[in-house]
Every structure is written in C-alpha cells, then in structure tokens.
Amino acid sequence: MIPRSGVGIGLRAGLAAELFAAPPPELAFVEVTPENYLRRGGRYAEMLRNARERWPIVTHGLSLSLGGPDPLDGDALRALGAFLRDVQTPWHSDHLSFGAVDGTMLHELLPVPFSRAAVRHISERIARVEDALGVPFAVENITYYESGTGSEMDEGDFVSEVLRSSGAGLLLDVNNVYVNGKNHGFDPRVVLEKLPLERVVQIHVAGHDATEPELLIDTHAEPLLEDVYALLAWVLERTGPVPVLLERDDNFPPWEELCGELRRLDAIVRAASSVKEPRPC
Amino acid sequence: MLTLRDYAGHVADLCLSREPPRADLDALGGEPRRWLRYRRMVRRRLSDIVRAAFPRLLDALGETSFAALEDAFFEARMLASPLIRDVPGELLAFLEGSGARERVGLPAHVMDLARLEWAERAVAYDEDDLGEAGVLAMENHVVLTRAYRLLSLEHAVHVIDEGAPVEPERRATTLCVYRDAETHTVRVLHTTPAAHALLEELSSATVCLREGVERAAARTGAVVDLPFIEAVSDLLADFSARGIVRGARE
C-alpha cells in the first residue's frame, strides 16, 4: 500500500544505482512507467525487481493518447493491465494529451483543444481504458504551450469537466499548473480552485527550464522552484495528505541534492497531514 | 472548428514534415512560435533516442548525413510502436525499405552497421529467460536464450569502435549478438559459417538437435562424421558456457 502521506520518486535508469545503494529514509513509494518495463528483461527487469522488493509501486503511463483520434489498442491495453496487476499498483494514470494520429506515434504529450468535443471523446476513452485495465484510473493535467483555436473553456474547466464526466481520479501535477500559469499569464491558484481537489489521488512535482522566461518548459531536469514548493503546500492544505512524487528524468544532480528535495517534500506533506486528516480512500 | 482528427493531423504534419508547413500553422491558430516549440520537442526526443541507439552509425555518417537521414525518417512517418524504445528499430526498417538508403545517399556498409547496433540494443532488453532447461540430447529440442540475434552481414562492421569510425572491410560476416545473463552485458561473437548455420537451425522450434546438426552440415557441405560431431560438441559447449544454449526440452 502506498502511504497517503508519503513521498516517492520516479524509477529511472540514471538514478537506480544510487537509489538502491543509498535509499532515502523518507521514500515511501516508487513510480514506474510501464512502457519502460513491458516485455523487457536485462537491466530494466532487474531494476523493477529490486524496486518491488523495497517499496510499493505506483504506475504512470505515457502512451495511451487519451485525447488522440486513433482507436485504443486492445492488445496493448491487455498487456498493460496484466503488468499493472502484477506490480499491484493501486491505480494507473496517464495524461490529458494526445500522442498519435493516423497510426503515427509522436512520442510527446501534445495538447488537445479545451473543447466540449474533447471532453466527451476523452471521457469515453477513459471509461474503456478503466474497464480494460481493471485498476482505478487517474488523469494528469499537462503543460500546454498552445491549445489552438478550438478551445471553448479554460484549463481548469476542461480538466474538471473530464473528471466529472469520466469519474476518473486526478493526478495533479502542481508544476504543470505553475508553468501554465506563467506561460499563459494567470494565477495558478485560480485554476487549482476550479479543480475538484477531492479527486486528487497523487501529486507530481518537478523542476522546469526557465531559459526563456516568456516560455517555461516542463523538463523534469531542474531543481524544484520555491514557488512550486509553496504551491504544493497550498494544495495539500486543501487536499489533505496525498502521495507526492518527485519527477526527475534528466540532468541528474548529486544524489544528496535529490535526497534533500525529497526531505523537504516529506516535511511539507507531514505538515499538511498534521493540520488535515487523511481523506477516506 | 477542426475535428480532433484534423487538429491532430495538423500537429503531426507540423512536427514531422521536413520544413514546418505554413498551412498547418495557420490551421492550428494561436502563436506559431509556440507550435514550433512542439515541433522541436518532438524531433528532439526522436533524435535523442536514435542517436543513443546508433552512436557508431552517427560517427560513420557525420552530423550532416545523419541529420538528413533523420529528416527523411521523420517525414516517412514509420513511427507505429507506442514504445519509444522501438523507434531505432523503426529507423532500421526505414533504411531497409526499398531505396531508402540510396535516396538518402548513404554508403553500403551503414546498413550492416545499423543492423548490428539495433541488434545490440534489442538484445540488451530482450525478455529474461524463464525456467530451467534439461540436459542436451540428440533427440531433444535445443533451448536457446531469448536474448540473442543472429546476423549475416556483408561488411565486418563489428570491428568499428565508437569514436573511431573506419570503412569496414567488405566480406561475408556472421555474428551472434547475445546478452550475458549474469551481468546483462551485450557481447558480439564472430561465428564461422558452420557455427552460424548450426545456431540458425537450432533456432527452429521444430527440429531436434540431431536434425539441426544434419541440416547445418548439409548447408555448409560438411560430412557428419566423428570429427564433425566433435567440433559440434565443442561449439555447443562454448555456446552453453556463454549462455546462448541453455539446454534442451523433449
């Protein structure tokens, strides 16, 4: 079981050696991306075995293309479902984005227009995905740098509508809301206040690239910003204790630096736990 | 208003076309600069994965030719697998497609180099072996590891080291790329034609060891006599020590 007031980290090949050699005591769970482990042996299989021996696993996917027009792949969903049941994840999540069209995979989390048609389309697909996987399902809000001419609502309303009509849980990426606020000129708290925060099952935090101040890029390759720590605390005051995951995918710093980020996140989660009781699961 | 399919199609066109089409940017609306950021992100991610998989191919071709190859590959849209780790294999399939190598203007040996590098990549992460295998016997089927590839190439590309590109000698070359089960290290074994034929025959699930040996002998013009059997025995012992041959099943 994943503790409701725990912190976790994404299992990455670039972090694995230090993670297993010097695991931080605060670490309560590890998140894995099934696409990296499905039908895969060698070092990846060993890494997954080692992680499963030590921590509860939660899964987070990349390739469902919930907002995409192509049909869902039944074989891929069955294989994914078997993997999820094997690692005993409490839920599986993927992104409110698209990544494929006309059989071409773009391997990126691309934005969908914030439209009523997209809400209907995504909600129908979530229902089919949840049926096929056999575990509870959550969607993650993404960073979007553009949403095009087809949008009929803002991000907060769009995510809320998808959650309402699909019944899915929310994997709330606090950094993504922050980055979107900066890139599109709104206060992230305004979007967060629109969201049904009682549906949050997990939170992601990460660093981002601010090389171009007018367009922050969600890279998972930089340290967490003070503003993001503060926004996380603000969210946790409203949600109560929720598992919080540090995403670090690249440009890995010294291990002690990452452990320091985990310690600080753990303190924030514990502070929130002391002022608000955990919600019933 | 665009349908979701039309919208997604414009985004894909924008990202994968050799040059970003103005018509797609117009159809998508918003700030072109930000859509072009998506184009860079998609192409960068794909490029990173193929460059990580083909370091010697990149060395051999140089930046300009490799980038031209990437452009042609992206434009061909041979990106069907939902797993990004499959993209290098899709690039190889593109290269092997009719006329792709000639269109991009690449030297002949790059095909073999790409095949070797992709085999090394694939073998590193092939699924682990399951269960125990029994003792080798002539009437049993040989059980090979799941983590191996047999390559039959026209150039000795296995001698090329990363960072030291050379024009490889043109000569028939047979290789067995396999993964060490203990260390996960990928190794490349330069095999004789007879050893290659034997491994190919033993790869068939339908033949027993005796049939495999006979077929390999017939393919290489060898007589199945005592010296031949002793040589096969030595080969099987070597393949077993390497973990390529795991045993046998009835």
Strand ranges for A102-173 from DSSP E: 104-110, 137-140, 169-173
Angle formed by the axes of helices A226-239 and A255-275, nearest 10° = 30
Encoded amino acid at B189, one letter: L
Chain A residues in contact with B16 (beta carbon < 8 A): 104, 106
Quote the pTM value: 0.94
CB B152 within 8 A of CB B196: yes
Average of pLDDT values for B192-200?
Answer: 95
Nearest CA in chain B to A44: B125
| B97: contact with A, CB 8 A cutoff | no
Domain ranges in chain A are 7-250+264-273
Q: Do B12 and A106 touch (CB under 8 A)?
A: yes
Vertex A94 angle, CA A68 and A13, to 5°: 120
**Cβ–Cβ < 8 Å for A86, A54:** no
Per-residue pLDDT tens for A199-229?
999 999 999 998 888 899 989 989 999 999 9
Contacting B residues, span 186-225, partner chain A, CB-CB under 8 Å:
none
CA–CA separation, B49 and A93 (whole Å): 24
- Mark out the alpha helices in A61-115 (DSSP H runs): 74-87
d(C-alpha A277, C-alpha A254), whole Å = 35
Q: Stretch A114-126: mean pLDDT, rounded?
A: 97
pLDDT of residue A281: 43
E strand map for B24-183 = 141-144, 148-155, 170-179
Task: Provide, rounded to the nearest whole percent, the portion of chain A with pLDDT above 90.
Answer: 88
**Residue A198 binned pLDDT confidence (cut-offs 50, 70, 90):** very high
Which tens digits make up the pLDDT trace of B18-34?
Answer: 999 999 999 999 999 99
Give the model confidence (pLDDT) of B98-110 as tens digits. 777 787 778 889 9
**CA–CA–CA angle A147, A148, A150 (5° rounding):** 105
CATH for the A7-250+264-273 domain, from 3.20.20.150, 3.80.10.10, 3.40.190.10, 3.20.20.70:
3.20.20.150
d(CA A206, CA B201): 52
pLDDT in tens, B129-187: 888 899 999 999 999 999 999 999 999 999 888 877 778 899 999 999 999 988 999 99
Contacts of A90 (CB under 8 A, 6+ apart): A1, A2, A56, A58, A135, A136
Domains and CATH numbers, chain B: 1-106 (no CATH), 108-250 (3.90.930.50)
The 10s digit of each residue's pLDDT in A4-44 is 779 999 999 999 999 999 999 999 999 999 999 999 999 99
Is the Cβ pair A100, B184 closer than 8 Å? no
Could you tell me the two tokens for B242?
Answer: 């390497």
Whether residue B162 lies within 8 A of chain A, CB to CB, comes out as: no
Q: Sign (positive/negative) of CA torsion A38, A208, A169, B8?
A: negative
The yes-or-no verdict on residue B94 having pLDDT over 50 is: yes
Chain A CB within 8 Å of residue B45 CB: yes
Q: Which two tokens stand for residue B211?
A: 């049939």
Residue A277: band (very low, low, confident or very high) from pLDDT cuts 50, 70, 90: low
Tokens of A1: 């079981």
Between the alpha carbon of residue B97 and those of residues A86, A103, B80, B100, B116, the distances in Å are 38, 18, 15, 6, 17
Q: With contacts defined as CB-CB under 8 Å, which chain B residues touch A100?
A: 8, 82
Q: Is the pLDDT of residue A148 over 80?
A: no
What is the full DSSP assignment across B183-247? T--EEEEEE-HHHHHHHHHHT-TT--HHHHHHHHHHHHT---SHHHHHHHHHHHHHHHHHTSEEE
Q: How many CB pairs under 8 A join A and B?
A: 129
Q: What is the pLDDT of residues A42-54, one digit of tens each?
A: 999 999 999 999 9
Structure-block tokens of residue B22: 């103005």
Instruction: Give me the long-range contacts of B203-209 (CB less than 8 A, separation at least 24).
Output: B203/B144, B203/B150, B205/B141, B207/B141, B208/B138, B208/B139, B208/B140, B208/B141, B208/B142, B209/B136, B209/B137, B209/B138, B209/B139, B209/B140, B209/B141, B209/B142, B209/B248
Q: What is the rounded distance in angstroms from the CA atom of residue A7 to the CA atom of residue A9?
A: 7
Closest approach of chain B CAs to the CA of A264, in angstroms?
Answer: 31
Task: State whether A146 and B38 contact (CB < 8 Å).
Answer: yes
Closest chain A residue to B14 measured between Cα atoms? A106
